[in-house]
Amino acid sequence: MDKQSHKNQVNENSKNEQLEQYRVTNAGNPMTTNQAIRMSNDEETLKAGERGPSLHEDVHYFEKITHFVHEEIPERKVHARGYGAHGEFECYESMKKLTKADFLQEPGKKTPVFVRFSTVQGSKGSKDTARDLRCKGVKFYTEEGNYDLTTIAMPVLINQDPMKFPDVIHAYQPEPRTGMPTAAGAHDNFWDYVANNEESLHMVMWIMSDRGILKNYRSMESWAINTYLFVNEQGTASFVRFVWKPVLGVHSLLQDEAQKIGGIDPDYHRRDLREAIDRGAFPEYELGVQIIPMEDEFKYDFDVLDPAKFWPEELIPVQLIGKMTLNKNVDNEFAELEQVAFNPANVVPGIDFSNDPVLQGRLIVYQSAQYHRLGSANFQDLPINKPVCPFHNNQQKGYMRYQIDVDQVNYHNNSLANNTPHPTTPDEGGYEHAPQKVSGHVTRGRSETFNDVYSQPRIFWNSLSPVEQQHTIDAFSYQLGSVKSDSVRQQNVDVLVNIDKNLANTVADNIGVARPDGTHVDVETSYPSLSQANAPKSVYTQKVGVIIANDFEDKEVTNILTTLEKEGAFIEVISETLQDVIGADGTVINVDKTFMTTSPYILDSLYVVGGTVQNETKFNYHVNHFIKVAFDHYKPIGFATTAKMLIDANAMESVPGVISATNSTNFTTDFLTAIAEQRFWDRKVY
């Protein structure tokens, strides 16, 4: 058994054991109410005669139906649609010089985690592939208590002050009169906000780039856009920003793919994450930190506390300090994913807060939001939120109190309980905030160092490859082209010109407004770390669609499939029916999907085998559709020798990313190389 198969088997055995334990608990036991009263009938309501009206005294029905209608809790105001998994974080090296956080002290130390990915704009019932900001909350169950690291898929935020957060979300979410659009910012309110709140342009540039439509959660890079502090045992503090870097690299969908997949499979990202873990292809993310000494606070041409600015990796290197591996799917979506509660205020000794204004605002919001959403301050006792280490305090009562408190003492400074629980000193592990000098007048204002809202968006634009720039132009043109107000469309290109004149002019032409006056800011800096063109690429976990029928060349096809499996590719065998296909020499291959139950949009590449079928015209029609979609989206296509009747091999011979076994001297190597490359942007597509 190969390594991948072994992982799959171990994972499956673990799931079966959990299910068996659950069923043993219920096996042979009578059905009861929640108060343990045995039920004689769970199928009909209590009536006055078999055809009569229902009776109010049907307490069993009342319990069952009221539980049902109260099963759902209020949606999150933002981040309603999400998914996640359990895993562990392993520290690479001791960070003792910078922080006293216990889970970062020893190389190899492992800490259990729970992760929730989410979109922002859409409701819980929206689609995964919307162009949107994506978020990742990581709950570390450390030995010092829970630490919540909340991150987003861009290194910048849309607002510089928390007072603006309700405004931007009101503008971004569906228009209040109609409740539309769902999971989309392509409407007048949002773009009116952008044009009139120019600090938002930076994040909008990122969302309009390929970063706004991620391929999957496994290839999502994310930043804790706020500035925190690392504090060591000596009390020395440093500014720190966190970033999660996916081991697979950062990859995206095309806009057309994202829109199609949103209808074909709204659960695309959720399904991808769950299936990858089920297959044993555990998603991995390395945790990086960027460190700025406190004395270098004013060293850079941007304010290190400005959440709408990124810290360039080329100036402030990312140090990779550990790796998170997601290795267990949730057992119950509601109990874990819906009830998990994150809060950036949940930190452990060694991690503290800077004066980042948005961070300061977030520290008082999340707890209140969780009280409202989960209905009680006791949400922290839920299994998914409960620390793995003991916790003690004088808090009692509240809705849904789980613990039965038997002590009469529920106050601090007491003699009856020998003053327990008691505070601890920092030397004993007690949390202590780093001393920071604070001075100034009470004011509602903003630092002048936050005012440059164009230079960094210009740097981001300069850093994109020509292909990424074109995709960004297309995104702006689509979004602003959906805006009804001529004035709002014009206002947006009038501010876009400050980022790039060609960008603004092209978008203006596409959406039917006047080209703006002026030109972009005089900044020509670029950073390679900002472009996805430099992301790692591999065959591993790429989904290869194998289009096949009977009478294929046994040895040729089985060799390719075996090689793909060894490289960790996800293979999906597709044919006209779910009947097994049989090779010319008797090899049997199971079919996973039919042309009706899958789509070329959700495949990363095609291996077209062909063969003999009952209805050749219908089969060829479907095959040609799959080929055209893959071709038009720059994906790799491999043709087996039995597929030569489906293509003009000579015409395809020089097309980038199209490999034919008939013409290639080393088809296996060439095809694997093409799959790893993923997209062939130099292909001529019409």
Q: Three-state SS string across 335-399, please?
A: HHHHCCCCCCCCCCCCEEECCCHHHHHHCCCHHHHHHHHHCCHHHHHCCCCCCCCCCCCCCCCCC
Rounded-to-integer distance, Cα 188 and Cα 632, Å: 31
Alpha-carbon distance of 680 to 537, in angstroms, equals 13
Residues 203 and 158 sit within 8 Å (Cβ to Cβ): yes
Per-residue model confidence (pLDDT) at position 84? 97
Amino acid at 653: E
Q: What is the pLDDT of residues 151-167, one digit of tens each?
A: 999 999 999 988 888 88
Residue 2 in this model has a pLDDT that exceeds 80? no
Phi, psi of 23 (to 5 degrees): -70, -35
User: What pLDDT, in 10s, does the model give residues 667-681?
Assistant: 999 999 999 999 999
Point out the domain boundary residue: 339, 363, 381.
381
Residues 369, 457 share a domain: no
One domain, residues 476 and 554: no
Tell me, yes or no, whether 566 and 648 share the same domain: yes
270 domain residue, yes or no: yes
pLDDT value at residue 434: 87
Say yes or no: 274 and 331 in one domain: yes
The domain boundary residue, chosen from 69, 97, 122: 69
d(CA 596, CA 606): 16
Least confident of 88-92, 96-100, 594-598, 641-645: 641-645
Residues 456 and 316 in one domain: no
**Residue 509 shares a structural domain with residue 524:** yes
1 class by beta-carbon count within 10 Å (0-12 exposed, 13-18 middle, 19+ buried): exposed
- The answer as to whether 75 is a domain residue is no
Do 508 and 625 reside in the same domain of the chain? Answer: no
Cα distance between the two ends of the chain = 46
The answer to whether position 415 is within a domain reads no
Quick one: pLDDT at residue 194?
96
Does residue 212 carry a pLDDT above 90? yes
Question: Does 422 reside within a domain?
Answer: no
Residues 461 and 327 both lie in one domain: no
Share of the chain above pLDDT 90, in %: 66
* Domain of 221, in residue numbers: 82-381
Of 191-200, 225-234, 431-440, 549-558, the least confident: 431-440
User: CB within 8 A of 170, min separation 6: which ones?
Assistant: 176, 189
pLDDT at position 418 is 84
The per-residue pLDDT for 57 is 83
Residue range 529-544: mean pLDDT, rounded: 95
Residue 8 has pLDDT above 70, yes or no: no
Q: Which two tokens stand for residue 197?
A: 């709140």
Q: 550 pairs with which residues across the strands?
A: 612
For tokens 């002019």, name the residue.
Answer: 505
Question: Residue written as tokens 């950062």?
Answer: 250
Give me the pLDDT at residue 426, please.
84
Residue 374's CATH number: 2.40.180.10
The CATH number of the domain where 45 resides is what?
Answer: 4.10.91.20
Q: How confident is the model at residue 446 (pLDDT cuts 50, 70, 90)?
A: confident
Give the per-residue pLDDT at 547. Answer: 97
pLDDT band at 3 (very low <50, low <70, confident <90, very high): low
Structure confidence at residue 15 as a pLDDT band (50, 70, 90): low
Residue 6 confidence class, pLDDT cut points 50, 70, 90: low
Q: Which of 607, 662, 666, 609 is nearest to 638 (CA)?
A: 607
Q: Based on the domain organization, do 629 and 672 belong to the same domain?
A: yes
Average pLDDT of the segment spanning 207-216: 97
Residue 116 lies in a domain: yes
Asked whether residue 239 falls in the same domain as residue 307, the answer is: yes
**Is the residue at 97 inside a domain?**
yes
State yes or no: pLDDT of 239 exceeds 70: yes
Residue 335 has pLDDT above 70, yes or no: yes
- pLDDT reported for residue 375: 86
Q: Among residues 505, 533, 561, which one ends one of the domains?
A: 533
* Whether residue 71 has pLDDT greater than 80: no
Same domain, 339 and 192: yes
Q: Which of 184-193, 318-327, 360-369, 410-419 has the lowest mean pLDDT?
A: 410-419
Q: What is the CATH number of the domain that holds 471?
A: 1.20.1370.20
Indicate whether 7 pLDDT > 60: no
Q: How far apart are CA 387 and CA 115, in angstroms?
A: 15
Q: Specify whether 544 is located in the same domain as 609.
A: yes
Check residues 653 and 64 and name the one with the higher pLDDT: 64
Q: Which two tokens stand for residue 365?
A: 């919001």
Q: How far apart are CA 311 and CA 60, in angstroms?
A: 60
How many domains would you assign to the chain? 4
With cut-offs at 50, 70 and 90, classify the pLDDT of residue 505. Answer: very high
Q: Residue 627 domain-assigned?
A: yes
Q: Is there a domain that residue 630 lies in?
A: yes
CATH number of the domain to which 673 belongs:
3.40.50.880
Percent above pLDDT 70 for the chain = 94
Average pLDDT, the chain: 90
pTM of the model as a whole: 0.90
- How confident is the model at residue 653, as a pLDDT? 65
